[in-house]
Every structure is written in structure tokens, then in C-alpha cells.
Amino acid sequence: MQSTILKLMETARVLDPQTMEPVTGIKSWQTVNLQTGDVISKYKYLEGHPRNYRFDAREGFFSINGTEKIGGPSHGRSLTFQPIAWRIFTDSILGQPSRQWAELFFIDEQKCVATVLFHGYSVDNIFRLIEPLYYDDYSLADVVLTATAERKENTKIQPKGVYYIARFRYELADADLTKQRQEFAQENPIFRQDTLTNPIRFKTSHLYSFLTIDQQKAFAPVA
């Protein structure tokens, strides 16, 4: 029910607060501020600084900024989200040694642009989703993912080590909401400032950029 209400709110027509007539000329991801009449984004995003969700692979829970554990029935053990942009790459970031990372961006329940990072076996599990989705003419942008922490043990050391990886399942997302959010991601630079390094070894990416689509076209070489 909550996801249905959210979809209706985000895809509803925008009305002029003075005339109550539909507003024309605004983009699908924009709305009108009822107090000022200004056209604004439906989504909160401080460019380069999305809300930071974290997956703690040692303790097996998701949190916001590493301090506020996500609530709900899962008690922080799972996170459900629809990716709008992502990149999978190998690099040394956040003081960590070089490894494979998956950086996924999404819109959270408060309509904030957010991001979450995975590494190691969790990235392999994401690729296990990408392949069948591709052959069914879908991508991660077309589905709602649920990432769940799964407990693992390393018995090769004593005492044995305990760690967690993320397992993923998905269901198809609402097509209208997907279209709107993809338009938002195409027209706004989606990235996280503190994970930028140079050079970056990309394995795959989708709508991850420091530039909008129009800016990319402007800088593209002329044949």
C-alpha cells in the first residue's frame, strides 16, 4: 500500500496553486512549491553528496551514515530500494585497499537521493542479477531490489571468523515511476564526491556521471 501511495504522489499531475490548472512545461521529476510557486525537484539532492547508507559486513546490518540502524521488521538486516544509477569498479577508496566495489544510487523513502556501497562477494551476487535481467531486456533500474545480510563463517582460521555478505532478490518496479526517476538521473549529475579517484577502472556503469546528459553532449568531440 505504501509503495502504491508513493507512486501516485510522485507521478500525479502538477497543479498551479493559484489557478488549480495543470502546469505545463515542467519535467516529470519536478513539482511546484505551493508557497512560492517556484518549480522545484520532487527529490532532495545535494549534488555529489547523496544520503549515505552503509552495509556493515562485520555485523550484518544496514544503517544511515554508519550510526542510525535502519528500522522495520528486519531490524536493519535488509534494505529495499530501486537503483537509478550505479557503477561497478575496482579501486582504493575510503581508506580501503583496492578491491571490487558496487556503488548504487537510489531514491529513499524520504525522497532523498541516496547511495549504498557493496564489495567482495556481495558484488558477485549483484552480477548474478544483472545477467538474467539483461537477457530479459531489463536492467537494475527496472527492478526493486531487497538486499539481505547473510551470515558466513571462515573456518580456516581459529577462532573461526564470522562475516556477512549481501544476498539480493528483486521484483519488477512500476514502469511510470521508473521512467520518471530515470529522467531525473539523466538530467542531474549522480555521483558521490568522497569516493572519486583517478583513474577509475570501471567494469560497468549506468547514468553515473559528474555531468548532465546535455553537458556531456556539449563536451563530446565533433566528428
In whole angstroms, what is the distance from residue 13 CA to residue 9 CA?
A: 9
In this prediction, residue 221 carries a pLDDT of 45
In the beta sheet, which residues pair with residue 113?
Answer: 107
In the beta sheet, which residues pair with residue 64?
Answer: 53, 68
Amino acid occupying residue 196? L
More reliable by pLDDT, 213 or 112:
112
pLDDT tens figures, 111-147: 999 999 999 999 999 999 999 999 999 999 999 999 9
In this prediction, residue 72 carries a pLDDT of 67
The answer, as to whether pTM is greater than 0.85, is no
Find cell 548474478 and name the residue.
128
In this prediction, residue 74 carries a pLDDT of 65
Q: How confident is the model at residue 34 (pLDDT cuts 50, 70, 90)?
A: confident
In this prediction, residue 199 carries a pLDDT of 66
Does residue 215 have a pLDDT over 90? Answer: no
In this prediction, residue 219 carries a pLDDT of 41
